[in-house]
Amino acid sequence: MISNDKMEDSNGNLAVSYRDLVERGKQMLLEADILEAETDSRYLLEFVKKWNRSQFFLHREEAASEETKKEYQRLLQMRKQHIPLQYITGEQEFMGLSFRVNEHVLIPRQDTEILVETALPYVRDKKVLDLCTGSGCIAVSLMHYGKPKECHASDLSAEALAVAKKNAERNQAVIHFVESDLFDGITQRYHVIVSNPPYIPPDVIEGLMAEVRQYEPRLALDGGRDGLMFYRRITENAISFLEPGGYLFYEIGHDQAETVAGILQQAGFSDIVCRKDYAGHDRVVFGQYKHRMQQNQ
C-alpha cells in the first residue's frame, strides 16, 4: 500500500525497482478511479525514462533513482487529477505520425483516422481545405500520405493554430494556416473540404468522462443544442468554396449519420456515403457537389 501518496515502502526503503514503482503507481491511479491505471502508470514511467516498452521489461528489476521517483511522482499526481495522459506527455500518435498536443487542442483519436483514410483517395494533386483543424492532425496526415497539390487549414483558435503549425513543421508538411471562423477568412476554392467539427450537444458534454469534460477545449466539443450546428453552417457555405464536382467530408457522432446525410442532400450534394469506424459505429459522411459542374455543361 502507499502511504500519503509517497513512493517509499512501509520500511522507508528507497531502493524500489522500476516494476514496483509502476505497481505502486497503478494503485495510486486505481484509487483515483483512472480507468487505464495499469497502462498509464507504466507509460508515465517510460516517458520519464525515455524508454519504449521493451526497455521497461529489460530494466524493470533495476533500482529506480531518486530523480526518477520524484519526476514519476509528479506526473502521477497530475494524472490522479484526471488530466489526460496526452496533455501530461504533450504527445499523441495519429496515423503513425507524432503530434504535439496541449490544452488548446482536442487529443487526436483513432476514430478520426477513419476520416483521413476515407478522404485519402480523393486528395492526390488536389487543393484541400481542413476546417476546424485543431492540432492539424488531419491536414498533416493528408499531406503526408495523400500528396495533395496544396493544403490549407483553418481554425478559430489562434492557440490551436500555433500547435498545428508546430505539428506541420515536425512532420515536414507544407500547409497554409488561416485563423478563421469557418469560411470567414477563406478566399479560394477547393477540390476537397474535410472537417471534424464540434458535434457534441452541451448536455451530453456534461456526462462525458472527466478527462474530456474538464480538460479538453469546450470550443472544440460543443456542437450547439442538437450537436448539428456546424454541419448546417459548413454545408450551407461549402458550395461557394468547392470546385465543380468537389467533395465534402465530415467526421460525425455515432448517431448523426442520417441527419448529416440529409443536410448534405438538402444542400444539393449527391453520391452521399457513410463509413463506419472499427467499432462498427457510423463515423464519416461525405458527398459530392455536382450542381455547378452540371450548370457548366
**pLDDT score, position 295:** 56
- Residue 50: its H or E element: none
DSSP string, 169-219: HHTT---EEEE-STTTT--S-EEEEEE----B-HHHHTTS-HIIIIIS-GG
DSSP string, 198-211: --B-HHHHTTS-HI
- Helix 18-31 and helix 37-49: axis angle, to 10°? 130
Q: Which of 127, 110, 131, 120 is nearest to 231 (CA)?
A: 131
Q: Using an 8 Å Cβ cutoff, are 86 and 216 in contact?
A: no
CATH class of this structure's domain 94-296: alpha beta
This prediction has a pTM of 0.90
How would you list the strands of the sheet with 242-251, edge to edge? 176-179, 150-155, 127-131, 190-195, 242-251, 282-289, 269-276
Grid cell for residue 203: 448536455
pLDDT in tens, the chain (297 residues): 333 344 444 445 567 999 999 999 999 999 999 999 999 999 999 999 999 999 999 999 999 999 999 999 999 999 999 999 999 999 999 999 999 999 999 999 999 999 999 999 999 999 999 999 999 999 999 999 999 999 999 999 999 999 999 999 999 999 999 999 999 999 999 999 999 999 999 999 999 999 999 999 999 999 999 999 999 999 999 999 999 999 999 999 999 999 999 999 999 999 999 999 999 999 999 999 987 555 555
Beta bridge partners of 285: 250, 274
